[in-house]
Chains A and B, each alone.
Chain A
Amino acid sequence: EIVLTQSPDFQSVTPKEKVTITCRASQNIGTSLNWYQQKPDQSPKLLIKYASQSISGVPSRFSGSGSGTEFTLTINSLEAEDAAAYYCHQSGSLPHTFGQGTKLEIK
């Protein structure tokens, strides 16, 4: 099973700040890496697919990069509504797995 390790686990940030969340895979998964946002008491929402492909309706301040074993989710100019947990998800190898999550708190 491929293990995804996200860092940091928690981050407290101010509005307009730039945020970077890292996801490291225990094996090479190419670009089979997706990112989701989950706000409190809501279902997860797709943010980025295939490591870097944007999703219709998702604000352009969200972007992804990386391949192989190291991936990054970047949020430019953070807004208060971005307070949420963020998860990476790999589909490169079965069983598919998720990272442990990164919780963003807005100061």
Chain B
Amino acid sequence: EVQLLESGGGLVQPGGSLRLSCAASGFTFSSYAMSWVRQAPGKGLEWVSAISGTGRSTYYGDSVRGRFTISRDNSKDTLYLEMNSLRADDTAIYYCAKIGTEVSATSYWYFDLWGRGTLVTVSS
């Protein structure tokens, strides 16, 4: 079955760190770029970060650049998001999403598979 399963969310204090994981199955993981998208409670979707299939190219949204690091381990079919210097406005459900094309040009990217998400709460 083609699926994505996120883990690693939880409650963390402001200024703290957390590492999210996304386990992929049912497709050739290394062939596809991957992304993280988040959704604050009751709010809309926000693009967070993306990484190419090889892992050599990474991209970040303005609100997380310099604090978050995306990475992947293609031998384990797993995507990661290392989050540092967390703030209250980082509180959200974090979704892992698969890019729907093997084309490397980012202008062709769209999300054809989403995980169920993992909740990150930043609060003292």
Contacts and interface: CB of A to CB of B under 8 A. Distances in A.
B44 A101 contact: yes
Interface of B: 37, 44-47, 50, 59-62, 95, 100, 106-112, 114-117
Contacts of B100: 46, 49
Contact of B107 (A46, A49, A92): A92
Interface of A is mostly: loop
B14 to A, nearest CB: 24
Contacts of A30: 107
Nearest to A30: B107
Interface residues of A, number: 27
A43 interface: yes
B111 A98 contact: no
Contacts of A34: 110-111
B87 to A, nearest CB: 18
A36 interface: yes
Contacts of B115: 43
Given A87-B45, A100-B44, A101-B44, A46 B110 contact: yes
A106 B37 CA distance: 27
Given A30-B107, A99-B44, A94 B114 contact: no
B114 A50 contact: no
A95 B61 contact: yes
A45 B114 contact: yes
A98 B107 contact: no
Contacts of A46: 100, 110-112
A47 B58 CA distance: 26
Interface in A5-38: 30, 32, 34, 36, 38
A50 B72 CA distance: 27
Interface in A55-107: 55, 85, 87, 89, 91-101
